[in-house]
Chains A and B, each alone.
Chain A
Amino acid sequence: MSRTRQLIDRLRDELGASAPMPPAPPLPRVPEPPARVFPRRHEGSPYAREAARHTTALLGIGHVGTRYATDVVLQFQAELAVAHEAVATELPADWATQNGLIGLRSRVRDHREYLLRPDLGRRLEPESLARWTQAGQHGVDVQPILADGLSAVACMQSGLTLLDSFTQACRARGLTVGVPVAARYARVWLEDEIGAAVSAKVAAILLGERPGLGTGDGLSAYLVYDPRIGKTDGDRNMMSNIHPRGTRPEIAGVRLAVLARAMLDQQRSGVELDLSGLRTELGDVASRAHRAPQVRVRLVEVAG
């Protein structure tokens, strides 16, 4: 290569760093401010009112540019915060005993491990298992288990009501009910080991369900016949959305007892359980994996 061109290349690199910037283009003229900037007018949309009769999806909410209005953003953030808070809340270690229940714990040691290791949440830690085998009543028809699941908030809010109504409805149907327990860091399948330890015929775990937006207080119930380790999801029957705005705990307890009675009668559970004769009594539970619609509540009110 040309010697002169090499020299000039190097000089360009040296000067490049210190070379003055070309002058900036002149700023555009800033217009005078308007006399006054007016806020947007929010008009309730007829479409939103029509939609509210059929769905809880947030419809007819309008737009600002292509984005949300401020009140939509706040409502939405509040719903998300409620859901996250429900997940983050832990069942206090002494909550069971304070409420007259036997407290058990899965093999999970902390909340993060609970989220990441469902396998550990399905097994009792050895001390709990030994204590439960001692204290539990063996050979009962139904062993109820209250548990935190993914929402300790739901467990603490509606859990005792659901447990009571379920227990009474079972007894009313002539079923023997075991000593109630409350399990921490529990997954659904933990009912298998708890039920098996006391040879219960049906295990019923009532636990906080994965929160949805603005609904951190829903409980689900999973019932299994002949509980033992190795049962799968297909062996269970479930009911979800148990909370004051969905299926109320008082009603849910009765329906779950009907379900338990059917399991004992047919000596099976899950997909094989025939519920065709019980549709009126069971309501939602008759169709598998059904969710009751939820009511959306306004969460944010600013003091004016």
Chain B
Amino acid sequence: MRLAATIRSVVHRFESLREVLAKSNAPKSGDNLAGIAARSAVERVAARAVLSNVTLETLRQNPVVPYEIDELTRLFEHSLDEHAFKAIAHLTVGQFREWLLEDQTDGLKIRSISAGLTPEMAAAVAKLMSNMDLMVVASKCQVVVRANTTLGLPGRLSSRVQPNHPTDDIEGILLSTREGLAYGCGDAVIGVNPATDTAESTAEILTAIDGVLKRNAVPTQHCVLSHVTVQMRALQLGCPMDLMFQSLSGTELGNKAFGISVALLDEAWALMKERGSARGPNCMYFETGQGSALSSAAHHGVDQVTLEARCYGFARRYQPFLVNTVVGFIGPEYLEDGPQITRAGLEDHFMGKLLGLPMGCDACFTYHARMDQDELESLKVLLSAAGCSYLMSLPVGDDIMLNYQSTSYHDIPSIRRLLAKRPTPEFDAWIVERDIWDYERDRPGRAFGNAAAILP
């Protein structure tokens, strides 16, 4: 394979498809840290030109992490839908981009070929797209899933209530949960990141949240984001658990650093299908984020966008209810500033939707990244306009345990009103019944923001 392109009579040559993919990436500090980024803007375009001319079939034949050393590569290869693949195999990445953008290509058509895409294909086409391209195509893709509620219907924007507490104080967690519900947040999940990673504490938090949801008849699901093995033990203690959580990485080595494997998640999923408390068929919740593989030196010289897509390839095996890219959490050494975090959020949402996942995004920044509230608010609107399934929500967007900035309880109703979106149908009926939102006048209802009205 000859991988070269000429720009103003300078020939740019590339050694491997992996290098082409890496150098095609929009600028990311994480790719610089890994030493694989394009050296100049012109070289970046040259790499994109080469990539635009590569067929999807070639991408399948050249996985970025070798088949022999990585179980995820083997998983992608063996679970690919050959019929769907045949429909698009002959397209170049450039042609694939245009096919996705065409008016005749609607969400159903994209869904029909989705199972024939490897993660590398989704990543490759994302690299040829502008932010607006990513939004336009992602907004076509509808991924509808069901647990206790139905997530991802058109015109909907859901949210996770994230009532974290630095010492897992149950009272503190419940107070924050009730406040979130009073603002119409939490229809995707009430999800707590625990400070203590034990089965007992996971079970205790789940049981307490379950009680509040039942007493107030809130149609949603709950989850405690401890390690999957801890949640499995908690299930065996007999606690309610609507969704089971795990962080994913895009390589076998990266997942090893997270203490997981395909076999372990298969086991967890089987247990959850048997013991989970949600009614619908989708019961898993995954989080990802660009840069996680590099941070555990498990990136195999692959860029962070392609590795992120591989997380989604892994996630779709388990028909999850939620997948969430925690886009700015990892720090400036991977995503330096506002433009990089914005780009990554839109890329991740696009790739996940293209691969058939119910994508949400934790649009966020840490205090050592160069980003501020205004820029973050813009990203939330962009994601919602692109049809993002759900965002996070916290008091003032401030996570008092993990120390970073995300979406606030006030942001969710603001965005919904701006973009004429609603929560899941089941939760929507609940906020109307509770007079949290008044759709007749499209304004907050009398109980909006009144956490005291939600029973403890």
Contact = CB atoms under 8 A, between A and B. Distances in A.
Interface in B206-230: none
B166 A287 contact: no
**In the complex, which of the residues A59, A65, A118 has the most CB atoms of chain B within 10 Å of its own CB atom?**
A59
B169 A294 contact: no
B333 A115 contact: yes
A72 B396 contact: yes
Given A47-B452, A115-B368, A212-B367, A57 B33 contact: no
B62 interface: no
Contacts, number: 132
Find the residue from B32, B166, B410, B413 having the highest chain A CB count within 10 A: B166
Given A57-B163, A212-B367, A63 B410 contact: yes
Contact of B373 (A56, A67, A80, A117): A80
B42 interface: no
Contacts of B165: 54-55, 57, 293
Interface in A39-78: 45-47, 50-51, 53-63, 65-68, 72, 76-77
Interface residues on A, range: 35 or more
A186 interface: no
B400 A57 contact: yes
Nearest to B416: A66
B395 interface: yes
Interface string B154-176: 00000000010111010111011
Contacts of B183: 63
A292 interface: yes
B449 interface: yes
A162 B339 CA distance: 39
Contacts of A117: 33, 333
B169 A54 contact: yes
B414 A211 contact: no
B403 interface: yes
Nearest to A121: B333
Given A54-B171, A55-B172, A66-B417, A294 B368 contact: no
A293 B396 CA distance: 18
A84 interface: yes
B336 A116 contact: yes
Nearest to A59: B179
A213 interface: yes
A56 B400 contact: yes
B416 to A, nearest CB: 9
B29 interface: yes
Nearest to A296: B400
Contacts of B448: 63
B176 A55 contact: yes
Nearest to B196: A287
B107 interface: no
B195 A291 contact: yes
B451 A68 contact: no
Nearest to B367: A83
A84 B369 CA distance: 9
Nearest to A115: B332
B2 to A, nearest CB: 34
B369 to A, nearest CB: 8
B95 interface: no
Nearest to A63: B449
Contacts of B451: 47, 59-60
A127 B368 CA distance: 28
A290 interface: yes
Given A59-B395, A66-B417, A210 B367 contact: yes
B445 to A, nearest CB: 12
B169 A84 contact: no
A67 B373 CA distance: 14
Contacts of A116: 29, 32-33, 332-333, 336
Interface in A241-268: none
B396 A76 contact: yes
Nearest to A53: B171
B367 A55 contact: no
A66 to B, nearest CB: 4
Nearest to B417: A66
B169 A55 contact: yes
Given A54-B169, A63-B449, A116-B336, A68 B396 contact: yes
Interface of A: 45-47, 50-51, 53-63, 65-68, 72, 76-77, 79-80, 83-84, 86-87, 115-119, 150, 210-213, 287, 289-294
13 contacts: A47-B179, A47-B451, A51-B172, A55-B165, A55-B175, A55-B400, A57-B396, A63-B183, A116-B29, A116-B33, A210-B403, A212-B403, A292-B167
A-B pairs, 7 with minimum CB distance: A55-B172, A212-B403, A54-B172, A83-B367, A54-B171, A57-B395, A291-B166
Given A66-B417, A115-B331, A116-B332, 19 more contacts: A47-B175, A47-B451, A50-B175, A53-B171, A54-B171, A57-B172, A68-B396, A77-B373, A80-B373, A86-B367, A116-B33, A116-B333, A119-B33, A210-B366, A213-B403, A290-B195, A292-B166, A293-B167, A293-B400
